[in-house]
Amino acid sequence: MTSQPLPASIDDTQKLLDSQGYVGDRALATVLHLALRMNRPLFLEGEAGVGKTEIAKVLSSALGRDLIRLQCYEGLDVSTAVYEWNYAAQMVEIRVSEAAGDADHEALSKDVFSERFLIRRPVLQALQPSLKGPPVFLIDELDRADEAFEAFLLEVLADNQVTIPELGVVHAEAPPIVIITTNRTREIHDALKRRCLYHWVDYPDAERELEIVRRKVPGAAERLSRELVAFVQKLRSEEDLFKQPGVAETLDWATALTELNEIALDPDMVSDTLGVLLKYQDDIDRVRGSTARRMIDELRAAFDREAAAD
């Protein structure tokens, strides 16, 4: 894919998102446009399943850039995220040199710690030049990583470089497009946030979520889509759930009910398929049965009132 120029305005950024089927609001388009023009990392915070990771994927696809993803987790370290040495190849090189009678240990030491023995992990890959242009570098779920790794990223985000003791400083010719996501399971240090532009990605309102369902699950019946979105919105606002369903779960549920040939919400089918929408048994037990039936009756009554008012 040929790389594309960066969007020249907020409207162009909104069109870029729209071209990839991402239904974002103008606030998101504004901060994304600024991050691209200012060469600043974009820090996206929000609940799981609201579409934070998808923004990086959309950028990569729309701009024709490589997507380099660093999935964070507890215990993530430099050798996994940044670089490590190919120790097996280094040992072979040392043995071959010794067998050939090469006694210049200083030269050999420099040779085995040269770039040809360097294994580049996501952070270092993101700093490498590319014919397509700077890649989109997704640092996903940073809150799952340890604070020590978070501190290591400060050099990368501030100066677009990594210091390798054996080689020196590796600096990016052009800074990558950095997208950082967090589900806020812990607070990220202010020192890292200061190096980024910030945006909170919230659950969409009913109108925007309905548009997302229409685009992502085009086979869903219109009545089913409207009732399903209203049901999910009602769950988020009225029910005290351990984990509210995200947009990803809404889309999965719409797909599942469409596969079952449903054209509207049926209380029994809702109860039977809640495991697609909700991921904790206590939440499922809270909604299943009479609660689901009451919610469906209420949202249909609301639709009838709207129709009568029109």
Mean pLDDT by 10 residues, the chain (310 residues): 86 96 95 96 95 96 96 91 89 79 64 86 93 94 92 89 88 94 93 95 95 96 97 94 94 98 96 96 94 95 87
State the pLDDT at residue 220.
97
Which pair of structure tokens corresponds to residue 212?
């997302």
Query: What pTM value is reported for the model?
Result: 0.89
The 3-state DSSP class for residue 203 equals: coil
State the pLDDT at residue 102.
64
If you search the block for the tokens 């446009």, which residue do you land on? 33
Q: Give the C-alpha separation, 1 to 133, whole Å.
A: 12
The 3-state DSSP class for residue 237 equals: helix
Q: Give the C-alpha separation, 273 to 290, whole Å.
A: 15
State the pLDDT at residue 106.
65
State the pLDDT at residue 168.
87
